[in-house]
Structure 1
């Protein structure tokens, strides 16, 4: 007796159901993409006074707080915004004083040299040697030197932290060698163009601020305008500077001092431990400032270009915190 074969429509129905079950099974086994970790940064400049080594000094409290973040792996980078050791330091000063209070930050340190207190050609030229572990009594290397080797005072470099790209520039060139500073404008243009093409969010670190209030000692670094024009061209998201001995945060600002949605948020963080200075004018682009508190800035940078900030006071009452949303 001949067996009846299943109807073709039945066969197609079974095959369709099997395919659907297989798809569900595969989908159930497929892991969702892992979120990209945030970039966690601490930053401050103008750190250590002349022959300062006391742990309970403003410098000591700041250095200890950031060192704890490094040791506990709570930050990915410490950005040293220039003026590490006052007044005109040599190897001996970095080793005897700065290292005592700030040496624990070296494993995460990315640095820029500032004019005068870090580097003035022919006067004090040891910061680059110190950061590369070449000063007698100190063999520790800054994080960027561990990665790149010797970096000469004033030599620009850039570094990617996940989806964020940071360019590091020395303001000293505008004071000592403006021709070189203008050449670095071309370097910055090329560097930011390549990073933007790669889809990175952009940030720039330099010591003497352009977006800043005046003090009795310093006005804005107006000669830096060519760098600012390049930053605006590529819509840099944030900048970090020091020098003024106080704290400031701008609105998202363009190269014409106007608050605009796609401007750069300029942080000026020179509260590392040196005596603080009051402000003598009030630029409209500055949204938050104070000159009564030592501390440092923490940034949390997200993969989509948004970021959070929090000024951490270590001696004094003031702070600042907030969030900037992702670019549209």
Structure 2
């Protein structure tokens, strides 16, 4: 059994120069920007960072050299800003870097990885714990992705090829699980009989007392271009039932942070609107598709009433694209987060907060 609930809902928001590089003197509290300048408020009260290890995460990262916006990695206001995002990781004393898939456009080929991704993120390879996206699989079986990252990418999962890309590790007091959302498609649903789910059950049973975080590429819910990814429904519920605290995803190119959500349900082919629950009963999902490629449009809650009141922070704008990384400090029974914006000319945007483990 997981440890008894110790959650105390804390005031969201903190600014800490000790945690990561400052983004702006005035924080922009995320409200739902799709083009207009974010609402600005005074910097929230500093809550401190604790002593836990620091991780960084982001997906949808590096343009191919053939992209007309690439410009040697410098990019434009609208895209190919992988260099600016990589610069955020410099001198941060990270315990781990979690790339959330679609790391190298367009096809995840080895020549693309070595020419672009490796140029900017290769220095962090020793602490990188990746998960694959759909663009990695444009190369058959994501062969070049697995060859580039080697054993750390989890290709040789003991439960076989249908569990490839799934692996776990500890960071401080936390247990982290990388899952391969591509494995949940192609006529092999991720129910209890799926090899990846069998591995996941054994893995979580072996780590019952840890604060826990899971990550993969395709978000279950999203206001973005791709919308819901229903194949991850049983995975979401499986993790929720076992007390996982945080889910990290990308795929939709922008930033979204959801309120803690409860169980997921499907009605036919559509997702039933999710339910916001107390933090002690739900999982908090972040979509961090801001690694450099570009931004997609994002729907308003008026256009997506099923998600009204569920998304607490969001930004996506194809013209003035948001790029940056999410940093999290993992303390023994809590975590703090801050989205750090890369210096790319987009309107100021910061999202910060505190959560506790279930």
TM range (shorter): 0.7 to 0.9
The 3 A distance-change label for structure 1 pair 49 and 121 is: closer
Equivalent in the alignment of 1:301: 330
CA deviation map 1:239-281 (0-9, x unaligned):
1001000001111111242111221110110100011011125
**How many residues are aligned here?**
270
User: TM-score scaled by structure 2?
Assistant: 0.70
Residues 1:60 and 2:60 are matched in the alignment: no
The 3 A distance-change label for structure 1 pair 149 and 180 is: closer
User: 1: distance between equivalents of 2:98 and 2:164?
Assistant: 16
The 3 A distance-change label for structure 1 pair 269 and 79 is: same
Which has the greater radius of gyration? 1
Residues 325 and 339, structure 2, Cα contact 8 Å, conserved in 1? yes
Equivalent in the alignment of 2:255: 247
- Ranked by relative contact order (alpha carbons within 8 Å, sequence separation 6 or more), the top structure is 2
Residues 112 and 154, structure 1, Cα contact 8 Å, conserved in 2? no
Q: Aligned to 2:143, what secondary structure does the other structure show?
A: coil
The CA deviation at 1:93 is: 1.2
The CA deviation at 1:107 is: 2.0
- Aligned ranges 1:116-195 → 2 under 5 Å: 117-120=135-138, 122=140, 125-132=143-150, 144=152, 154-176=164-186, 178-179=188-189, 182-195=194-207
The 3 A distance-change label for structure 1 pair 189 and 124 is: closer
Structure 1 residues not aligned, in runs of 5+: 1-35, 133-141
Structure 2 residues not aligned, in runs of 5+: 1-49, 76-80, 265-273, 302-306
Equivalent in the alignment of 1:46: 60
Equivalent in the alignment of 1:27: none
Residues 1:288 and 2:313 are matched in the alignment: yes
User: 2: distance between equivalents of 1:56 and 1:95?
Assistant: 17
* Equivalent in 86, 106, 109 of residue 90 of structure 1: 109
User: TM-score scaled by structure 1?
Assistant: 0.76
Residues 53 and 98, structure 1, Cα contact 8 Å, conserved in 2? no
Residues 154 and 172, structure 1, Cα contact 8 Å, conserved in 2? no
The CA deviation at 1:155 is: 2.8
User: 1: distance between equivalents of 2:61 and 2:71?
Assistant: 11
CA deviation map 1:5-27 (0-9, x unaligned):
xxxxxxxxxxxxxxxxxxxxxxx
User: 1: distance between equivalents of 2:243 and 2:329?
Assistant: 19
Q: Select between 47-56 and 178-187 the one with higher mean Cα deviation.
A: 178-187
The CA deviation at 1:55 is: 4.2
